[in-house]
Structure 1
């Protein structure tokens, strides 16, 4: 087989040494013995790959934990900010309503004081009118007699 010949596709995975030997025979036309150094290199690479996969799995797990922890902290911070904003907003609304109620109370007190003052003046005018009526009746009796 020459380098210009079309090579068979590379298998998705080579799991065993026998599969490697078969692939090398199909690809290069080379037979590999059981004690060939290429099998040692293959085994070393498989072990290194397995270690690398375990390392990546650990790193992925730590990364996911860090992301989840960051998300939970961020969620707590956002919830705290929302609660603070809500309390301030509700506090502002409550303060505005209390101020409006206090202003209404002051206006009611002023209106009540004005009504009492007008009632006092009305009482004086009523007394003056009654005196005028009695005086007029007394004057009429004295004139008619």
Structure 2
């Protein structure tokens, strides 16, 4: 295969200018065998019998109630534009909102200058009382 037979006019001890391709062919054969072995492993599939429903999904015509919470630079919280008297008032309103049949969405808009502890307190209170649909609004103001 990779041998050259014959005189060819080369001096004794000189390396013939023919490339030995035997190691290259051996490596390619090993790669081919590995490829052939791994292909059946990749084609395994698990067949599942998934339930089929003939009914359309329920209509979502009802818009969810949205509670807009604004946190001002000094930590003052506004509930739909109305100033909240204190933490107790905010917790009471959140309890009432969480008790509704359809949990409302909370859109929280912090001021750019507010300390994080005020925003974290509002988020923690909302989550603890069961308001899990919380969105941060106006994040583009923090891009700079």
With the length of structure 2 as denominator, give the TM-score of the two structures: 0.26
Report the structure number with the largest CA radius of gyration: 1
Whose helix fraction is larger, Structure 1's or Structure 2's?
A: 1
User: Which of the pair is proportionally richer in strand?
Assistant: 2
Q: Greater RCO between the two (CA within 8 Å, min separation 6)?
A: 2
TM-score normalized with structure 1 length: 0.26
